[in-house]
Amino acid sequence: MTYETIISVQDLIPNLFHPDWCVIDCRTVLEEPGLGFEFYCQSHIPGALYADLERDLCGQPNPGKTSRHPFPDPDIFAQKLSAWGVDKNVQVVVYDDADGGYAVRLWRMLGWMGHRAVALLDGGLNIWEKKGLALETGENKRPKCNFIADLNPHLLISSPEVSQIMDDPAFLLLDARSSQSYSGEKDPNSPTCGHIPGAIHFQYTQNLDREGLLLPIPTLIQRYKDLLNGKQAVVYCTSGVTASLNVLAIQHAGLDTARLFAGSWDEWISDSTRPVEKSYSNFGD
SS (H, E, C) the chain: CCCCCEECHHHHHHHCCCCCEEEEECCCCCCCCCHHHHHHHHCECCCCEECCHHHHCCCCCCCCCCCCCCCCCHHHHHHHHHHCCCCCCCEEEEECCCCCCCHHHHHHHHHHCCCCCEEEECCHHHHHHHCCCCCECCCCCCCCCCCCCCCCHHHEECHHHHHHHCCCCCEEEEECCCHHHHHCCCCCCCCCCCECCCCEECCHHHHECCCCCECCHHHHHHHHHHHHCCCEEEEECCCCCCCHHHHHHHHHCCCCCCEEECCHHHHHCCCCCCCCECCCCECCC
Of 22, 26, 193, 237, which residue is the catalytic one?
A: 237
145 flagged as catalytic: no
Active centre residues (catalytic): 237
